[in-house]
Amino acid sequence: MTSFFYQMPIWAVVLLFFGLVMIAIEIGYRAGHRTKEHWQSAEAGGGNVVLSSMLLLLGLVLALTFATSVSNHQSRQQAVIKDANAIGKVLLLADLVAAPGDETLKSALLAYARTQVIAQGDALTSEQLQDLVDASTHAADAIWQVTQGILDAKEAGAFDVPLGLAVTDLFSSHRLRNWSVFYRLPGIVLAILVLIATVSMAIGGYNAGISGKISRSRMTALAVVLSGVMLLLVDLDHPVSGFIQVDQDSIQALIAKMQQALGA
């Protein structure tokens, strides 16, 4: 279910949602128009009560879903900042390492930092995401190997502790960043949201059919607004390929600083 929503282009998801809502309104209206002789008004049989309850439920689900999506987006942004801070901490300690270990560690850090920057439009599929994570993990392992070589090449001292802690913090931020790349709003949540929205609009169309009057412009406007909210929800869970992207300036600035220092 998750792949259905997140492997499709954002515009395709929104258009599909808009089409489903409009079809639901039309089907509801035609069904209500055919059965209007059995009902005195749209209020008969609790029609308005059902519609009001469905719209209230739709609003509640939209609010909770939107809050979760925004929270996920903020978590991804915090993961980027934490990752940049962890890289910067190891970089500062690398200045205290004797040559040639300092240059080797800085080069490993630069290679790792480059894997942490995801260009716009990248990682649109799970396979591409996994490839990026694998490359990042390989670069992180290289940092650990370089650190081990530095510590093994000299006598144990007080410097070993802060350097080791800084590298372990780097691995912690690395795992957090990997989690933030893959974690998205569960597809079943979006599926339930689509179901509630289409049923609500179908009931609204059915009540309009019973009354024999429908304002298609108003119904279309409502469908457009709901589609806009759906756009936000899906876009927030596309951190590198949507309109609302995670800011990676902190890592990019760090990469520029390392490149200048290494002449790379």
Distance between CA atoms of residues 137 and 123, nearest Å: 16
Q: Which residues touch 52 (CB under 8 Å, ≥6 apart)?
A: none
For the entire predicted model, the pTM comes to 0.78
Nearest Cα neighbor of 90 from 139, 153, 134 is: 139
- The whole-angstrom separation of Cα 96 and Cα 137 is 25
In this predicted structure, what is the pLDDT of residue 122?
47
Beta-sheet strands, E only, within the chain: none
The closest of 91, 115, 120 to 257, measured between CA atoms, is: 91
- Per-residue pLDDT of the chain in tens (264 residues, 90 and over written 9): 445 677 777 888 899 999 999 999 999 988 887 877 666 665 655 567 788 888 899 999 999 999 988 888 888 889 889 999 999 999 888 888 777 788 888 899 999 999 888 766 544 566 777 788 888 889 999 999 988 888 887 655 556 778 888 889 999 988 888 887 777 788 888 889 999 999 999 988 888 888 778 888 888 999 999 999 999 888 888 776 778 888 888 888 888 988 888 876
pLDDT at position 85: 92
Q: How far apart are CA 251 and CA 245, in angstroms?
A: 14
State how far Cα 64 lies from the chain centre: 15
The type of residue at 68 is T
Phi, psi at 36, each rounded to 5°: -65, -20
Burial (CB count <10 Å: 0-12, 13-18, 19+), residue 77: middle
Q: 6: exposed, middle or buried (C-beta count within 10 Å: 0-12, 13-18, 19+)?
A: buried
Question: What residues contact 263, with CB distance under 8 A and at least 6 apart?
Answer: none
pLDDT of residue 73: 87
Task: Name the token pair of 37.
Answer: 């002789």
C-alpha–C-alpha distance, residues 125 and 131, integer Å: 10
